[in-house]
Amino acid sequence: MKNNSKWNFDTNAIRAGEHRDPATGAHNTPIYQTATFSFETSEELTDAFVNFGNPDCPNLYTREGNPTIDVLQEKMAILQGTESSLAMASGMATVAASIRLCAKAGDHVIVTDKIFVVSRSFFLDECPAMGIEVSFVDMLDLDKVRDAIQPNTKALFAETITNPQMCVVDLTGLKKIASDNHLSFIVDNTYLGPYLLQPIEFGADLILDSATKYLSGHGDAVGGVLCGSQKLMSEARATMSSFGQCISPFNAWLILRGIRTLPLRMRQHSKNALALAKMLKNHDKVDWVRYAGTPESNQTELIEKQFPQGCGGMLSFNIKGEPGNLHRFMNALEMVDIATSLGDVYTLAAARVDYGLIRVSVGCEDEKDILADFSQALETIEV
């Protein structure tokens, strides 16, 4: 593995974990598209079975490990600053894995009330089925978080920037509450990724990313990465195998390719999103805009502390007038794509009438083209 502690993030995004393929000399990490691995002797296979689960155990079966996936995991642990990481089939697989690591039947977890809709479904439906009690709490109010703690509470689960309302939580404040009450602190960092924020610096015990989004960056792979201690990742790996949540080598390879340009893309996402947020804030047909890079005055200091490298590409806004204006605006867009995902180099937008907003994943196109498309679409709206 190539990893130099003197290297900066941009260099590690390209080089960490990568190495010349010893079998072929290939410079790029190969896709080891195989289900199983063979051994020279029967004794070697027996030793692999005996040592299964140990960090130095040879690859046995891709459900448990694969050389392509290993490189992705090495790279992500370095970029997140953790001891280890585990690549999984999707971001939701990492959400489920993080809770299974921290809670069991009879336990209680506290979750941000402004959470991704599919994560909400997991906490509403699957956790009770496992006997885990869940409280949804406004994590912008730390007193409410403290008040929600019960004798059987085991973890706090937060999103760095909430989806889709774009609220920013105080990671330092939440970590203090977790530490004071011996709770695990789980942070979903999907909206920012490790270039803009490393939650380990704020005391997170488990960090998860939907690698489908900014890590991949090209909208062509589904995956998730969970980062934490070597002990926790070993436990998670065993559970992942039982639940069959392994990532495919091809998706791992696509995500690796994407990570190499992560710093370049995140700088452009942040630049474009800031410009769009400022334009929307000054538009007479826009009711409100939420973007971490243009915070309300009471969060300016917090955001400068947590996101010194930039605030990413996600924003939401509402249009004045009737709810139908959201759909009218969306249908008037010419360049921007109507889609639900995020983190792509393409700018994507989705109207969420149930939330009263439009969520935008600002891409890496030319800033002037993005602003022009939003401007012309707004001109079609009557308020």
**Domains 9-259 and 263-379 alike in fold:** no
Task: Please tell me the predicted confidence (pLDDT) of residue 118.
Answer: 95
Q: What's the whole-number mean pLDDT along residues 353-357? A: 93
Average pLDDT of span 232-237: 94
Mean pLDDT score, 54-70: 88
Architecture of domain 9-259: 3-Layer(aba) Sandwich (3.40)
Instruction: With cut-offs at 50, 70 and 90, classify the pLDDT of residue 363.
Output: very high
With residue 93 as reference, give the H or E element that holds it: helix 91-102
Domain boundaries, the chain: 9-259, 263-379
Q: Average pLDDT of the chain?
A: 95
Omega cis (within 30) before 164: yes
Percent of the chain at pLDDT above 70? 98
pLDDT on residue 6: 78
Dihedral through CA 342, CA 114, CA 223, CA 93, nearest 10?
-160
Can you tell me the mean pLDDT for 165-190?
A: 97
In the predicted structure, residue 341 carries a pLDDT above the cut 50:
yes
User: Can you give the pLDDT at residue 309?
Assistant: 94
Residues 29 and 21 sit within 8 Å (Cβ to Cβ): yes
Instruction: Tell which residue, 212, 152, 201, has the closest CA to residue 306.
Output: 201
Residue closest to 32 by CA, chosen among 3, 61, 2, 74 = 61
Predicted local distance difference test score (pLDDT) of residue 5: 66
The band of 2, judged by pLDDT with boundaries at 50, 70 and 90, is: low
Q: Which of 184, 289, 201, 183 is nearest to 236 (CA)?
A: 184
Instruction: Give 270 or 165, the one with higher predicted confidence.
Output: 270
Lowest-confidence region among 41-45, 102-106, 163-167, 258-262: 163-167
Beta strands at 337-338 and 153-159: parallel, antiparallel or unpaired: unpaired
Q: Does the pTM exceed 0.85? A: yes
Q: What is the mean pLDDT of residues 95-112?
A: 98
The amino acid that residue 206 corresponds to is L
**Region 308-316: what's the mean pLDDT?**
96
Residue appearing with tokens 């942070």: 187
pLDDT class of 325 with cuts at 50, 70, 90: very high
User: Is the confidence at residue 333, as pLDDT, over 50?
Assistant: yes
pLDDT at 15 over 90: yes
**CB under 8 Å to 139, separation ≥6 — which residues?**
112, 113, 114, 145, 156, 158, 169, 174
Instruction: Kindly state the average pLDDT of the residues 274-281.
Output: 97
Residue 1 pLDDT level (bands cut at 50, 70, 90): very low
pLDDT in tens, 111-139: 999 999 999 999 999 999 999 999 999 99
One CATH from 3.30.930.10, 3.90.1150.10, 1.10.510.10, 3.40.190.10 for 263-379: 3.90.1150.10
pLDDT of residue 171: 98
Report pLDDT for 241.
87
Label residue 298 by pLDDT band (50, 70, 90): confident
Q: Read off φ and ψ for residue 208, nearest 5 degrees.
A: -130, 145
Query: Do residues 192 and 262 lie in contact, with contact meaning Cβ atoms separated by under 8 Å?
Result: no
Whether the predicted pLDDT of 264 surpasses 90:
yes
Query: What pLDDT shows up at residue 56?
Result: 74
Q: What is the pLDDT of residue 164?
A: 87
Average pLDDT rounded to a whole number, residues 268-295: 96
pLDDT higher than threshold 80 for residue 4: no
